[in-house]
Structure 1
């Protein structure tokens, strides 16, 4: 069977650490969507590591890792990541497999991403400029190149054809930046990729399932960035929700068992887009400072605010979440008062539903206040040690969502994860 672990907010929920924690319980970890715009932070031997494309189980010797067909893969980023992993003494070639159907991010995809974002002026969507959107556009437009194409003699011809098409688009956007250095690096990385185990991903993963192996599907970004159900158009280019597992790995819906959703104890967002509970005051600054809220991929300061239960309830619904993990609970240790959003006021109407187009509406969050616990919780290792006021906060969220928080993360370390019975 397949369990799924994904983010329920706008990304940056701390999924990397949680996948790393659960990884020893699984035989295979598989990334099913997204690309190098993801940034999953782990701490290995007390050293910080950020993985963008490699599944977070790579540091576990007996765990197989698969980059699935739903991912868009940048060979240059992959090569750099592999060098980072190798520095920890890990033989990445042993346990890292890549689906032959995985689409490639070309240098011109990165150029198109940059040109498109520049052309939008004040209407930028906050792209990470990694070429994700243009790569997915080529996928849906049936023009893209895939990992399996690397083994074809006509690959260079196919590449030139697609590059010429991209160049016309770049010319129309008045983008004339020299990307020859990007191309040189790209082709070197392609040669590096040929050394990997390139597999028929869907047969590979289903064979493991038939053998009784335990599979964990690892999501990137967050549910509120889903191309269909997120805060469109300020979304990513893939399906980040649990349904994306089926198309991103080639597994049937009935194979999915648990859906583990990860949420912060508060909310953050990087880039543009609606954020009803965003704080523009000293409290927001304090959340950013204590939580060290800066993008793992972009380094951009994250926008911060109180937890949004309207959005979280929506994410639990569309994902079919069965278990919750709350991360960065320790960041709230310092606050006298905490707030949670229980509904929206849209004009003079109260709603507990996510509106169709949030960017066109003036949304005021209705907030419920809670007393802060004012206790350092980062050293706690059991649920019994948690302050009563923290338990009240968690209990209210459980009741509102109808799904229980089963784990509370109270720090970046592997051991800083409390199981709640």
Structure 2
């Protein structure tokens, strides 16, 4: 059956269980992999223990090149021991103690998620709301409101497909006004128009209850503003976000153009403080994604 389905998913967490599959008279024994691995079109990512050893050696080499003394893992352990608690117990006590609000902050972005991002240009962990469960040991029923934090335009650090990227004066303006430099790497971020195809895809994965739209004021000086509302492939709209990088590199973006508001919005603290054209921009985003925007930087809606 693995040759006739699009997805083959294994829910096993260990190699203690196994099963046998026979194809064309050849027998395959599986423990960790789903049987779909025998499909020649399958993609599987394999990580061995020696990858961790290589990472450690590379870190020692990097510090030596910088003229620093590389601490052993044991040395680091003693330094941080007083500051470490078992996260499962810590979160359990927080969730079952006196009622309180708990804010969980994610890192990176949905498209850098190891499972749902634009592989291979991703990070090594879960950046989606699922990371709350896998990273903190929090049961799913304790996840409450999910805020999708999104800029009023789109950025990316490093290589990887970026359909709405503007390699022109618009991209330069967004980069300059938005001070778009990677916090960790110091690299200049690539900038482009807001991509609602990506935002809707992120919503499908995370189930946003509201959007926190940031950096709206960066768009204050533009005469007109474009929003990417759909992708086309071969001249036809495609109703999905391509997981394949080769396809994503080929898509054409369908834009909706809106007039700029040409007004300083940095002092806006209430919805009524925003010019009507800025309000229209926000409503356009809400209507396409199907999620209300409740926060705009310091402005509450």
> Normalized against structure 2, the TM-score is what?
0.77
Deviation at 1:227, TM superposition (A): 0.9
Most deviating of 243-252 and 261-270: 243-252
Q: 1:143 to 1:250 in 2, by over 3 A?
A: farther
Asked if 1:242 is matched to 2:141, the reply is: no
Q: Please, which runs of 5 or more residues in structure 2 have no aligned partner?
A: 1-45
Give the 3 Å change call, closer, same or farther, for CA 234–164 of structure 1 in structure 2: closer
Q: 2:68 aligns with which of 181, 186, 210?
A: 181
Paired residues for 1:19-418 under 5 Å: 141=48, 167=57, 178=64, 181-184=68-71, 189-196=76-83, 198-211=84-97, 212-360=99-247, 361-409=249-297, 417-418=298-299
Distance 1:143 1:245 in 2: 28
8 Å CA contact retained: 2:227, 2:256: yes
Higher alpha-carbon deviation: 175-184 or 354-363: 175-184
Looking at structure 2, the residues matched to 400 and 183 of structure 1 have their Cα atoms a distance apart, in angstroms, of 51
**Matches of 2:56 and 2:267, distance apart in 1:** 53
CA-atom RMSD, angstroms?
Answer: 2.4
Mark the runs of 5 or more structure 1 residues left unpaired by the alignment: 1-136, 145-161, 410-416
Superposed displacement of residue 190, structure 1: 3.8
Task: Tell whether the 8 Å contact from 1:266 to 1:307 is kept in structure 2 after alignment.
Answer: yes
Given the superposition, is the C-alpha separation of residues 186 and 376 from structure 1 closer, same or farther in structure 2, using an over 3 Å criterion?
farther
What whole-Å deviation, never above 9, does each CA across 1:4-31 have from its counterpart, x for those lacking one? xxxxxxxxxxxxxxxxxxxxxxxxxxxx
Given that 1:342 and 1:352 are in contact with CA atoms closer than 8 Å, whether structure 2 keeps it comes out as no
> In 1, distance between residues paired with 2:54 and 2:168?
49
Match of 2:4 in 1: none
1:356, distance to aligned residue in structure 2 (A): 2.1
1:339 deviation in Å?
0.4
- Contact 1:308-1:340 within 8 A present in 2 as well: yes
The 1:216/1:364 distance shift into structure 2, 3 A limit, reads: same
1:208 and 1:263 map into 2 onto residues whose CA distance is 28
1:208-238, CA deviations, whole angstroms, 9 ceiling, x for partnerless residues?
Answer: 1111232211111000111111111111111
1:186 deviates by 6.7
Distance in 1 between residues matched to 2:286 and 2:296, nearest whole Å: 13
Residue pair 2:64, 2:70 contacting (<8 A) in 1 also:
no
Deviation for aligned residue 1:250: 0.8
Q: 1:226·1:237 contact (CA, 8 Å) conserved in 2?
A: yes
Cα offset, 1:349, TM superposition: 2.3
Secondary structure of the corresponding residue to residue 370 of structure 1: strand
- Identify if the C-alpha distance between structure 1 residues 305 and 178 changes in structure 2 by more than 3 Å, giving closer, same or farther: same
Residue 328 of structure 1: how far off its partner (Å)? 0.5
Secondary structure, counterpart of 2:103 in structure 1: strand
- Higher RCO (CA < 8 A, seq sep 6+): 1
Give, in whole Å, the separation in 2 of the partners of 1:237 and 1:316: 21
Structure 1 contact 273–359 (Cα < 8 Å) conserved: no
Distance 1:402 1:301 in 2: 32
TM-aligned CA deviation for residue 358 of structure 1: 2.8
* TM-score, normalised with respect to structure 1: 0.56
